[in-house]
Amino acid sequence: DTGVSQDPRHKITKRGQNVTFRCDPISEHNRLYWYRQTLGQGPEFLTYFQNEAQLEKSRLLSDRFSAERPKGSFSTLEIQRTEQGDSAMYLCASSRGTGSSNYGYTFGSGTRLTVV
């Protein structure tokens, strides 16, 4: 297992188009997180899965954003009708954990989205 994989590494899209990103977590990890990071800022939480269940979604997240994790393995993040403000690095992370216990996250290399 080589860690968390994200695809694509870079995506340039025109405003109004839909985009989808994929994340393959570490296989032993049951938790999967999506974060967004802009220049000079810390990662901002978007959503979180435990196995296949989406347990939390940021209230700041527009309805244009949706994420899935079918069968509790890989995850996809889709952004519909992209806007220039969506330009950012989208980071996926995975970790193990049970109940309220928490462990460190392993991040992927991210997908850099540019909306033109």
Partner 1 sequence: GQQVMQIPQYQHVQEGEDFTTYCNSSTTLSNIQWYKQRPGGHPVFLIQLVKSGEVKKQKRLTFQFGEAKKNSSLHITATQTTDVGTYFCAANSGGYQKVTFGIGTKLQVIP
Nearer to partner 1, 17 or 102 (CB): 102
- Neighbouring CB atoms inside 10 A of 3's CB total 12
Question: Minimum Å distance from CB 43 to partner 1?
Answer: 5
Nearer to partner 1, 47 or 82 (CB): 47
Question: Minimum Å distance from CB 32 to partner 1?
Answer: 11
Nearer to partner 1, 53 or 63 (CB): 53
Question: Minimum Å distance from CB 95 to partner 1?
Answer: 9
Residue ranges that bind partner 1, judged by CB under 8 A: 31, 33, 35, 40-45, 48, 50, 55-56, 91, 97, 100, 102-110
Answer for the pair 20, 82: CB distance below 8 angstroms, yes or no.
no
Question: Minimum Å distance from CB 83 to partner 1?
Answer: 23
